[in-house]
Amino acid sequence: MTVPQFSRPGAIDLSAFRPQNPPAAGAAGGLPGGAGSYAFDVVGEQSLRVDVVERSMSVVVLVSFWSATAPGAAEINATLTKLSTEFAGRFLLAKVDVGAQPELAQALGIPQVPLVVAALRGQLAPLLQEPLPEAEMRAVIEQVLQAAVANGISGTAAPVGPPVEAMVDSELDEPEPRHAAAEAALLSGDLDTAIASFSEALKSTPGDAEAALGLAQAQLLKRTRGVDAVSARQNAAQRPDDVAAQTLAADLDLLSGDAEAAFSRLIELVRRSAGDERDAARKHLIEMFDVVGDDDPQVMKARQSLANALF
């Protein structure tokens, strides 16, 4: 997909929407809360395109880029989640955990987190980077909605999930995650440090699923760093049985959010190859499963296809 960039011409300028004199806390700018949740998680570029970009053509979508290691991120999400219920569909809240999806942050060019942007007609415009009092956040949202109406966006969204319970204090005071340093290195692009940290964690706790996921993501990003995607795909097209060419192309498929294409590419390679080449393709495919997660339906389907290709 073509990912919208912050510098893209025509983006609606929301930088002046932070009010100088925010209204009193009781001056609610939204409608009474409806039955259901208006906040959801974005997972992968396909979700970004469908759930954010396409929806933003008719309704305002606020996108919160956050990480468990970013100070203030949980507070921002808690306030925005509460306000999304209060405004009852006048805007949707999309939450992107860039700690778990560094490739998405890299594709979008996210400078740092937390970061909240407004998505209007497929354009992303930066809005805020730090927690605000609820009344001030409400006023910011009201002005975003006014700008949206001026640009022909006045839709109201239906709930996207079951009702969200009120945020409790324990959610705002989450303990420091076990892999905070490794995740911070991954987010900052220090891939060697991230790989070393996650590898060390797996040595200590071999069954650590979080460390395995982080390691797989860091290794994927390192394998594709600096690669010319067009040339790599052309090379793969010209060398259908070259394991190195096909695994690199599969990495690029996965990085772009097309896990199905990535898996299919290597399953077909396993099917038509033999010996060491077949084993190399199989092992690479299994590493890619770790990036996506064993509970993902695409992974479960691909595992069955791999078994059929092997036997």
> Is residue 88 within 8 Å of residue 176, measured between CB atoms?
no
Residue type, 182: A
Report the share of the chain in percent with pLDDT over 90: 24
| Contacts with 279 (C-beta within 8 Å, 6 or more apart), sequence order | none
CB 83 within 8 A of CB 141: yes
pLDDT in tens, 57-103: 888 999 999 887 778 888 898 899 889 988 888 999 999 988 888 87
What CATH fold (topology level) applies to the domain 180-310? Answer: 1.25.40
Is residue 20's pLDDT more than 60?
no
Which tens digits make up the pLDDT trace of 136-152?
999 989 988 888 888 78
Q: What is the mean pLDDT of residues 178-189?
A: 78
Q: What is the DSSP string of 221-250?
A: HHHHTT--HHHHHHHHHH-TT-HHHHHHHH
Give the predicted TM-score (pTM) of the model.
0.48
Fold topology of 39-172? Glutaredoxin (3.40.30)
Per-residue pLDDT at 25 exceeds 50: no
Partner residues linked to 119 by β-bridges: 61, 124
Q: Residue 36: pLDDT band by 50, 70, 90 thresholds?
A: low
The residue whose two tokens read 């740092």 is 112
Alpha-carbon distances of 47 from 51, 53, 262, rounded to whole Å = 5, 9, 17
What residue ranges do the domains of the chain occupy?
39-172, 180-310
